[in-house]
Amino acid sequence: MQVLQPPGWEKPKGYVNGVAAEGRLVFVAGQIGWNAACRFDSDDFVAQTRQALANIVAVLAEAGARPEHIVRMTWYLTDKREYLARGREVGAVFRELIGVYHAAMSAVEVKALMEERAKVEIEVTAVVPR
């Protein structure tokens, strides 16, 4: 995997500008903060983020992939202010479950998600080296 950082650009925090990688592609559908039984254990934003990331790790494992193979993440948030206000907590959960920040990432505030109680949905693309 090669991080793409144009010369002279400010280094981003929490993501990278681009990634080039070769290998087997793994696409993970948007994961929300419910458990394996499709039930929410919490309405707390950070708890739902933790669960969504844990769900991603579980799906990746089914393909023989690990968090370090993630090259792209898209976060859909119902409240950008809460995301920004709780950034340190989100960062700690991210580092615990995913590891280092090396994915190209987008974050988008949306009016609502399909599941009424969901506060965050995260989809990823991973590339497993051959």
Domains and CATH numbers, the chain: 2-128 (3.30.1330.40)
| CB-count burial class (<10 Å; 0-12, 13-18, 19+) for 106 | exposed
7 pLDDT more than 80: yes
Q: How does pLDDT run across 63-113, given as a tens digit for each residue? A: 999 999 999 999 999 999 999 999 999 999 999 999 987 899 999 999 999
pLDDT (average), residues 12-28: 92
Whether the pLDDT of residue 16 is over 80: the answer is yes
Mean pLDDT of the chain: 96
Q: Where are the alpha helices (DSSP H) in the chain?
A: 45-62, 80-85, 87-97
Q: At what angle do helices 87-97 and 45-62 cross, to 10 degrees?
A: 20
Distance CA 112, CA 118 (A): 8
Q: What is the mean pLDDT of residues 18-27?
A: 96
Distance in angstroms between the alpha carbons of the first and the last residue of the chain: 12
> Is the predicted pLDDT of residue 1 greater than 90, yes or no?
no
